[in-house]
Amino acid sequence: MRMFVALVSMAALTGVAVAGHTRPGYVDGCQSADGRFVVTADSMKQPDGKDGWKYTWKDTKTGQTHSGWLVGIPYGLEHFRVAYTHIFVPPGGETFAVWQTASWAPCDRKPPGSGDKTLNKNPSDEFKNYAGFADRLVIYKKTGEVVKRVAMKDILKPNEWIYVNWVQGNLYWLTEYPDVVNQGGEPPRCGYRYYRVAPDYSVLEFTVGPNADARHKVAGEGPEVVNYRRPVWVSLTDGTFLDKKPTETAKVPVRPFVGGLVKRGEAMKSYVPSLDPVRSAGKVSEPAGQ
């Protein structure tokens, strides 16, 4: 077994590169809000010999477990195939969700006919159906069957493809939340800047619009394009889109992590995530030999 990252509370992130625009890769596990159900993932060889991500679902009360293979996640954690992936476990533990913010799904990173890759004003169906834009959100049964796969084409409206741009291993299509950017540091996970999640892990919120890079590149398109923001809410139990933001306290999306920001570099490489990040902060492990 070739394990790049063990996603348990005492694990350490290893074997990743930090260079250019790419931050350390990860597939972070999660537990249900009551702590009973836990889902983690490891990178290892599939039966066909290819690299893949194998999940483990566990009921900590009964000891029951399930395992299987996840779909649509870049294989490994290297610089150009980096994964930025978050697992969520809604109440009851019968399903779990896998969310990708800024990673490509497995592809050659050459969308067809993209031309100017920052101004996709009239994207073709072939472009919108490109493999790398797939599997933003995937809902699974605990036993591994896929309930729903949600691609960018299922989320973006025609006028929103203009915000899709990419740098090296990073795929940008969402706007950042301002409280975690330009504050003297960075969120310890790249994806934390792009979403909010309900405290019971049942609802995901994100905002379609230009990221910091895209705002600069579409400046000539006018203020309506530059300032465009559309919030989206989706159920993490079955992948359905919600008409409005929930009002029940446990389901109102909040910042996806507690704790402070970090400096890019060793602090990000050695960050150990919490399995319950909206309530428990992750830790920065001590460098080897310290």
How is the beta sheet containing 146-150 ordered, strand by strand? Answer: 26-28, 84-88, 95-100, 137-141, 146-150
Are 273 and 26 spatial neighbours (Cβ–Cβ below 8 Å)?
yes
Give the pLDDT score at 75.
74
Identify residue 20 by its one-letter amino acid code: G
Q: Which two tokens stand for residue 184?
A: 């003297």
Q: Is a pLDDT exceeding 60 seen at residue 4?
A: no
| Proportion of the chain above pLDDT 90, given as a percent | 69
- 279 falls in which pLDDT band (50, 70, 90)? very high
- 181 falls in which pLDDT band (50, 70, 90)? confident
HEC string of 191-214 equals HHHHCEECCCCCEEEEEECCCHHH
Give the pLDDT score at 16.
34
Q: Is a pLDDT exceeding 70 seen at residue 6?
A: no
**H or E segment and range at residue 283:** strand 283-284
Look-up of token digits 């084409």: 153
For the chain, the C-alpha Rg in angstroms (whole number) is 18
Distance CA(92)–CA(107), nearest Å, equals 34
Q: Is a pLDDT exceeding 50 seen at residue 80?
A: yes
Give the pLDDT score at 286.
65
Q: Which residue has the higher pLDDT, 264 or 54?
A: 54
3-state DSSP helix/strand/coil % of the chain, to nearest 5 = 15, 30, 55
Give the pLDDT score at 118.
72
| Proportion of the chain above pLDDT 70, given as a percent | 88
pTM of the model: 0.91
What average pLDDT does range 94-99 have in this prediction?
98
- 50 falls in which pLDDT band (50, 70, 90)? confident
Distance CA(84)–CA(28), nearest Å, equals 8
Q: Is a pLDDT exceeding 60 seen at residue 12?
A: no
83: closest CA among 68, 70, 95? Answer: 70
What average pLDDT does range 221-242 have in this prediction?
97
